[in-house]
Structure 1
Amino acid sequence: MIDYDIQMEDQTLMVRIIRSIKSLIYTNSKKLAFKIPFAYFLVILLTVGFSYGVLNQISTNSAQKKINEASLQTITSIQTNVDLMIENVNNYSKMIFSDRNLQNLLRQGGVYSNLDTQSKVSAYLYNLMQAVPIIDSVNIFDNTGHRFSVGTQELPTFMEADIKDASWYEQVVSNKGKYILRLNGSGAFSRMGADENFVSFIRLIRDIDNTSPLGVLVINIKDDAFVQAYSNLLNQSSFEIAILDENNHIIVSDSTQDQHNAVYKEILMTNRESLEQQFQKSNSGSLTLNSGSQKYRISYLSGGEFNWKFVSITPYNTIDSRNKSLVLLALLLLIINGSIFFFSSFIISRSIINPIHKLLRSMNKAPRGNFMKVKVERNIYEFEQLFNGYNHMIEEMDQLLTRIVEEQKMIRKAELNTLQSQIKPHFLYNTLDSITSLALSGLNDQLCEMIEALGNYYRMSVSKGLDVITVGEEIEMVRNYLKIQNIRYQDVFEAQFDVDEDCLQYPIPKLVIQPLVENALYHGIRPKGTKGTITISARSMKDEVRISISDDGVGMLEEEIMQILERKDQLKSFGLWGTMERLRIFYGNKNCIKIESELGKGMTITIIIPKG
């Protein structure tokens, strides 16, 4: 029970320590005094880690490159030695089938046709194998399929009922005396109770007088012979060698330790498909294979007359470890330099942070949202200049902002008032001209109707002093305006309205549509000389309302439209230009109006009003 209480106290203490550390980090994470050393620490940590990774990779690549070069050089020498050994066996085979007694024995029809001659051949072959220990056994097949064998130890068993059943027989005959090599005779030979491999050297025996086929010669070469061919090249090497035949079967996999030998054979067998794909890509190269938790570097050389593969196998943990000491030394130097920079960062940060803290304490005395001058102790030249500049900036900004706000209010108010005062007399003068014409003509009914419409128009345009009304109210003013103009210009134009009900409640600056309708009447329809149509439409879009004023009048040239849009023709199209200016000032957007026109076909002006 006491042990349990002690364990619980230890856990509680550990939790408190962890919480204290988290609280300390969270509290200081926003402070510059913490950020500067922490930034130094991160930079140093990343630099050291990156440098170590780069140096380690360079070291590893360099070691791998050296190992690969040494491996390829070694297996090239091994291939040369093996080719030389095979060529020696080829010369021995020529000595065998050139033997006069063997030629006579096979000419007589079979290896058992003359036992005395056979005995001489047997003695000759036995003496040859005693002189050449790489030969395991010699097999001679006559044309009738009988076999005569001589060996220094237990003879391998020929597994086929007839030599013609062997998989390589047809190739040997078609080669006409050229030899082939087969691992264990491609399964035609077997030695019971033995794990050693042997390579069968097979060729056709021909009559030395007329080159007619007399039989087949099979010389079985011990696998130890291949190891002896290159054993002197591996005295100081850190890798092992394996030789594969044309079918990627292991001829020999030699290691100084049987355990490693079994491991290397397992690597070659389990990764056989990967190796075959690599062999097909190139005749030489290197690749990495895994066996359990261990990685191995494989270098290979293939090709040659028999397409054998010479493979070197090197464990990764033996790759030139001498370069690791250089990497560790460089890492140690980086850590030392990083530590010096890290502790220097504290000294540098204190000289910067302390004056800043003084400045912050003074600034925090000012109310939030107000520009206040700061007063601090001026003991550093740079910070003295900073404080003076800051105080001067605060003073100038306060004065400048106050002045700009007042000026902008006055400018915008003057622009709106000026434009509206220009638009209202412009319409009133034209209307009074119409009333005068009706009065002079004695058309009292129309005169009363026009005065009533004019009264309604101005009553709505006043709008209780409001500058912004709804689209519905603006459309109603346009209806009154067109009623006035219809009385004055009978049979000159026809007005059409196509307004969505959804658009009527949205706000719009007043007296925006009327000047454009007036522009369509005076500059579009009247110059045409025939009756025209003015169409007012309003559509509710996703985020905006589009109001279009169209006429089928005389239209305008593109150059004239560009002059209006670029504000170069204020007098000629005052109503259109003034409306554009009002919308630009009100919405702060120069693209509130789009003009489309074609000379002789009319004009369409579209107003784009943002909803809300």
Structure 2
Amino acid sequence: MKKRFLSLGLRKKIQFLFLCTMIVCILFCSGIFYLILENQMQQSIADKEISNRTAISNNLDSTMKSINSISRLTMLRSTVRTFLLAESNSTPRTRNALQEIHDILNTFNLSCNVVILRMDGQYLNTGPGITYVNTGKIFETEWLNEVMAQKGNYVIKAGTRGAFRSNIGEMVSFVRVINDINTQKPIGILAINLPSRFFEQAYEGLSGETSHFALYDTSGRLICKDNESTFSSLNPENLLQNTREETDKLFYKSIFTCDTLGDSHFILASRLEVRILDGLPAKLLVALIIGAFILLAFMWLINTYIAKNVIYPIQRLVDSMAEVQNGWLHRVSMNVNDDEIGLLKNSYNAMLIEINQLIEELLQKEKTLRMAELDALQEQMKPHFLYNTLDMIRYMALENRTDEVYNMLETLGNFYRRFLSKGSTDLSLGEEIEIVKSYLTLQRTRFEDIFTDEYEIEEGLSSIRVPRLILQPLVENSIYHGIRPKGEHGVIRVTVKRQEDFLFLSIYDNGIGMSAHQRELLFSGKDSRSFGFQGTIERIRYYYKTEDVFEIHSTEGEYCEIILKLPLSNGC
């Protein structure tokens, strides 16, 4: 490991040491940060547990106060006591008792059903929905003894389908014995029934993704719950024992509790989950983040200073020396101090200046020669087409074909407007295609529609810059050396598409094609008839600084296709 480290370059050594230092600092700060958040998480879940239990207990206490008030007011009504103490029941007596109970219920915001049972099994009930009373179940010895044993206190029974059934859903019954005021002997039973879903209001607003609750009566029977899977494994034996389970994981803590809510008649089961960032004060979080950024920024400044003043200058010199071996003689331009690195840079640049001056002189001579050749080629191409076209227009004018003369002159004007391109060496692909279209329109008119021109242009490529006038000479060859010699109607197809980092321009004609020998002459530049083709290929090579710019596919007597392969620079 040590030997491998020593074999690294200076830049990689410094970067490796700096990276190790940064990792150690980040781990240290992360550890401190985690300890702070862990402590905060413990406090957060404790506070959350207390606040939830308090809120649910207060909500249930409010419900119990309403039930107690309804119970007390009901038992004090004379009509109710008359109903219970009468030796026989009568319809007016029952109606009066029901009316007073109904009036009591209207004064409370509590949707409940009230059932009054005489000891002989007769009863009356009122409230929302339809309640079915099974007196046989209620006066069973076990059921009745449980109520009597409370001596006026409530027995809470959840899911009492055997005694009370309602068409509005599962019921929770608060049952107590009614004693005679004078003799304190039981004279009846009072049952206040509430829908089970009513008790979901106790944890409304508290239940969520990380907090789940369930309520049970003191016998372990379920009243309501907000999540099926969380409490599905609980059984009455677990519920009757106070249970508390904690689960600690990295960045996560969960607490499951199951115990009686104070002095109430309910058992609350809850599962609370807290993630490490829950409950973190915003100011503390912002301070920790700012501190981490300051530390990283400070270390980054140190790294930047070392890279700028030591690593970068040395690397630039090394890279430049490596480029010299490949023929690139670029001077190193950078601001350095007047130290050993600065002296080395100045000496190196002085040497490159002398070498570049010699190379520049040679390149300028070569460039001047090449540009002269290209200018001569383009000047030769301009009058060649113009003379032929004007000659055709002259004959059309003599024949008084004024509309066609106008169209030809307008097309010719558009062609040369784009052709000249204000003297620039390149133009957009869209303009180059328009030049070809104008040219073929003129030639199709001149040769009396001996060919059809077709275009397959891939979208999104029209703005790409290409050398000026690279397609016109090729389509001209298709007419004069392909379609016309064949002596029948032909097709000229122009195709433009992009593949990876190249633009492919294809000129296809179904003329006489060319033999393998002719193709070899074109590739070698020895075909005397191909001056326009060779000049076009040379201009493309000069423009793109590459030799591999075209392909020829042909079958003699059938077709010829010339494909230009143009590099796309800068991901265009």
Greater radius of gyration (CA): 1
Fold equivalence (TM over 0.5): no
Which protein has greater RCO, CA pairs closer than 8 Å, 6+ apart? 1
TM-score by length of 2: 0.44
Higher helix share: 1
TM-score by length of 1: 0.41
